[in-house]
Structure 1
Amino acid sequence: MISFDEAFDKVMQHTQDWGIETVDLLESTGRVLAEPVLADRDFPPFDRSTRDGIAINFTAIEKGRSTFPIEGVLSAGMPQKTLSSSEFCCEIMTGAVVPQNADTVIMYEQTTLENGNAIVKSIPKKGQNIHKKGSDASTGTVLLQPDRRITAAEIGVLATVGKSSVSVKKLPKVCVISTGNELVDVSEIPLPHQIRKSNTLSLHAALSKECIVPELLHLADDKKVIQDSITKVLQENDVILLSGGVSKGKFDFIPEVMESLGVKKIFHRVAQRPGKPFWFGVQKEHNTQVFSFPGNPVSTFANYHVYFVPWLYRCLGLNYPKKEVILDQVVLNDLPLTRFVQVKTYLEKGKLFAKPIEDGGSGDLASLSKSDGFVCLRPRQQKYKKGELVSYIPA
């Protein structure tokens, strides 16, 4: 059995690179950008009015003029016009191109319109209310660097520069497998000795947040069935996430089957709770990573977020954010194990606190709905104090 820190480091040492692919713009949300995105023209591409009002040449104000005959109305989307003389003005709407020979926009609220004239009620500042051409970015400026998650904000930038298709990091092909004769489908009414499948569906939902749609597979506790099925799965997937079959029971065949199929064991059993029987290995022939979690619901859920998510981020070139929270009560961990304690976080006076959730152990599935993550508490004799800062793993 190895420590949590050793196990985590070993997982992080076995990253993969699945390459790059091109997807349609609207399919890129949530994906990881794989190319720099450049401005294809100046931003904004013209001097743009930021207010509804009138456009003037400021020299007229300097000469004491306050009344301007209106010679036109400009709206967004119209080609640029020219102010015929500094003695005139044009009405202009937000987003419209400022006319040539004009350099200042005065809001309607600071003018009076009557008899075809605009009367300025207060002296403006030269150049006010104009978003200057190229002030945000000039042609060729890098607007987005690669290795960042594409959100709604990035979609807007990509659309603005005409990227109807986008280069993104490829995602792994993942198979999620549960084992156990006691498991039945969600739609079935279980017998007294049975339970409905939940771990694979929880993992499916968690993976969907990463834009991954896994294959789901359930295997009975039959060594040959498991061996035959996993042989095929190893050939067709980049990652296997297993739930169950790695403890020391007589029907826990996963470690033995993996060895027979040439999957190199990196480690088995970690000094942690929940998830002590966690098994991790790699099949070099197909470069398939195998995360085999214990079958208890909290164990599977915790180990997925503790190990797999940071590993996936590193594979995709993303920085996994390190987060800390403040404990709102005393917690003891004098066991020789790293504990992942379920918590509910809350903000108070601008600080993030964590309240530990009482649970019934690694089989208490209902407790997961009461928490939003785990705090990582390494073993020590002294208690973790109220107000102490500890590592937090969102889930």
Structure 2
Amino acid sequence: MISFEEAYEKVMENTFSFGVEKTLLTHSRGRVLAEDVLADRDSPPFNRSTKDGITINYKAIEDGQKAFKIEGVIAAGTAKTQLKDSANCLEIMTGAVLPDNADTVVMYEDIEINDGVATLKKEVVKGQNIHRQGSDVKQGEVIIKKNTKITAAEIGILASVGKVEVSVKELPKITLISTGNELVAVHEKPLPHQIRGSNTLSLHALLETENIHAEHLHLDDEKESIKNNLRELFGENDVLMLSGGVSRGKFDYIPEVLDELGVEKVFHKVKQRPGKPFWFGLHKASKTIIFSFPGNPVSTFANYHVYFKDWLYKAMEIPAESKSAILMNEVENDSPLTLFVRVKLKTEAEKLHAFLISENGSGDLSSLAHTDGFIRLSPDKKKYEKGTVVPCILSRYN
């Protein structure tokens, strides 16, 4: 049995790229950019007015002028024009191109218009209310860096530079596998000795948040059937994610079957709770990674967030973000195990505060409805005082 730190390091050592593909801009939200995105022209692409009002040549003000005859109106989307007489003005709308021979914009609130003449009511600063060409971004500059996760904000930027298709990281192909004769489908009424299968559905929902659409397979506790089915999945998947069948029970065949199929065991069992029987390995011939989580619901849920999510982000080259929280309850860990303790989280003064929640072990699925994350407690530390800052893994809280 190895420590949590050793297990985490070994998982992170076994990451690889899934490749690159093109996708439509309209389908790219949540994906990870595989290229730097460059500005195809200056932004803004011209000197633009930031207000509705008039545009003038400031020299007229320096010469003592306060009233300006209106030559015409410039709407947004109109091609560049010219102020013909420096003693005059043009009405201009927000977003319109600043005309030649004009260098200042005065908003309507600061002028009075009568009989086609605009008179200034306030002091004017030369160059005011103009968004200068290239002041945001110059043509050829990187505007979104490679490995950025695409959100609604990036969608707008990508559209502005004409990216109809976007180069993104391919997502891993994953099959979720549940094991156990005691499991029945969600729509079935379980007998007294049975339970409805929930772990793979939780994992499916978690993967959906990463835009990964996983396949499902259920295997009964029959060794040859497990072996034959797993053999077929190698090569078709980047990841097999199993739930159950890795403990010491007489029908926990997964470790034995994986060994017989030539899967290299990286480790089995970690000094942690929940999730101690966690099995991790690699089928080198097909380059398939196997995450085999314990069957208890909280163990599966916690191990996904502790190991798989960080593994995925490293493989996708998404920058990792570590979190910490302030303990709002005193807690002890005098065991030799690293503990992942369920907490409710609250932000106060821009800091996360962690409140312990009531739970009944790793089989207590209902407690996850109240869980925002897990705090990590190191082994053999008898007491954590209230106010202690501890590592925190978010499962729901944003």
The C-alpha deviation readout for 1:135-156, integer Å capped at 9, x for no partner, is: 1111111111101111111111
Query: What is the match of residue 96 of structure 2?
Result: 96
TM-fit CA distance, 1:351: 2.1
Query: What is the match of residue 187 of structure 1?
Result: 187
Q: In structure 1, what is the Cα distance between the partners aligned to 2:148 and 2:251? A: 43
Q: In structure 1, what is the Cα distance between the partners aligned to 2:381 and 2:25? A: 53
SS of residue in 1 equivalent to 2:390: strand
Q: In structure 2, what is the Cα distance between the partners aligned to 1:139 and 1:349? A: 40
Q: In structure 2, what is the Cα distance between the partners aligned to 1:348 and 1:284? A: 47
SS of residue in 2 equivalent to 1:383: strand
Query: What is the match of residue 200 of structure 2?
Result: 200
Q: In structure 2, what is the Cα distance between the partners aligned to 1:318 and 1:235? A: 25
TM-fit CA distance, 1:380: 2.4
Amino acid at match of 1:51: K
TM-score, scaled relative to structure 2: 0.98
Query: What is the match of residue 55 of structure 2?
Result: 55
Q: In structure 2, what is the Cα distance between the partners aligned to 1:69 and 1:57? A: 12
Q: Is 1:278 aligned to 2:278, yes or no?
A: yes
Query: What is the match of residue 350 of structure 1?
Result: 350
Alignment of 1:79-158 (within 5 A): 79-158=79-158
Would you say the 8 A contact 2:73–2:90 is kept in 1?
yes
Detail structure 1 runs of 4+ shifted over 4 Å in the superposition.
Answer: none
The C-alpha deviation readout for 1:34-59, integer Å capped at 9, x for no partner, is: 11111111110000000111111101
TM-fit CA distance, 1:350: 2.8
Query: What is the match of residue 34 of structure 1?
Result: 34
Q: In structure 1, what is the Cα distance between the partners aligned to 2:349 and 2:30? A: 31
Query: What is the match of residue 246 of structure 1?
Result: 246
The C-alpha deviation readout for 1:258-316, integer Å capped at 9, x for no partner, is: 00111010000100000000000000000000000000000000000000000111101
Q: Is 1:293 aligned to 2:290, yes or no?
A: no
SS of residue in 1 equivalent to 2:353: strand
SS of residue in 2 equivalent to 1:382: strand
Gaps of 5+ in 1: none
SS of residue in 2 equivalent to 1:332: strand
Would you say the 8 A contact 2:175–2:241 is kept in 1?
yes
SS of residue in 1 equivalent to 2:281: strand
Q: In structure 1, what is the Cα distance between the partners aligned to 2:16 and 2:7? A: 17
TM-fit CA distance, 1:75: 1.2
Would you say the 8 A contact 1:243–1:293 is kept in 2?
yes
Q: In structure 1, what is the Cα distance between the partners aligned to 2:192 and 2:241? A: 28
Higher mean C-alpha displacement, 349-358 vs 35-44:
349-358
Q: In structure 2, what is the Cα distance between the partners aligned to 1:265 and 1:233? A: 17
The C-alpha deviation readout for 1:351-383, integer Å capped at 9, x for no partner, is: 210001111110100100101110010112330
TM-fit CA distance, 1:175: 0.5
SS of residue in 2 equivalent to 1:390: strand
Distance 1:47 1:381, change over 3 A: closer
TM-fit CA distance, 1:349: 2.8
TM-fit CA distance, 1:193: 1.2
Alignment of 1:215-364 (within 5 A): 215-364=215-364
Q: In structure 2, what is the Cα distance between the partners aligned to 1:40 and 1:349? A: 41
SS of residue in 1 equivalent to 2:23: strand
TM-score, scaled relative to structure 1: 0.99
Gaps of 5+ in 2: none
Calculate percent identity across the aligned residue pairs: 58
Q: In structure 2, what is the Cα distance between the partners aligned to 1:235 and 1:38? A: 36
Amino acid at match of 1:233: L
Amino acid at match of 1:107: M
SS of residue in 2 equivalent to 1:352: strand
TM-fit CA distance, 1:89: 0.8
Q: In structure 2, what is the Cα distance between the partners aligned to 1:235 and 1:141? A: 41
Q: In structure 2, what is the Cα distance between the partners aligned to 1:286 and 1:216? A: 19
Query: What is the match of residue 43 of structure 1?
Result: 43
Higher mean C-alpha displacement, 325-334 vs 136-145:
136-145
Q: In structure 2, what is the Cα distance between the partners aligned to 1:163 and 1:16? A: 27
Would you say the 8 A contact 1:61–1:123 is kept in 2?
no
Q: In structure 2, what is the Cα distance between the partners aligned to 1:75 and 1:254? A: 70
TM-fit CA distance, 1:248: 0.4
The C-alpha deviation readout for 1:123-170, integer Å capped at 9, x for no partner, is: 210000000011111111111110111111111111111111011111
Q: In structure 2, what is the Cα distance between the partners aligned to 1:16 and 1:43? A: 37
Amino acid at match of 2:282: V
Query: What is the match of residue 6 of structure 2?
Result: 6
SS of residue in 1 equivalent to 2:382: coil
Amino acid at match of 1:214: A
The C-alpha deviation readout for 1:91-149, integer Å capped at 9, x for no partner, is: 11111111111110001000011111111111210000000011111111111110111
- Count of equivalent residues: 395
Query: What is the match of residue 365 of structure 1?
Result: 365
Alignment of 1:368-387 (within 5 A): 368-387=368-387
Q: In structure 2, what is the Cα distance between the partners aligned to 1:311 and 1:265? A: 17
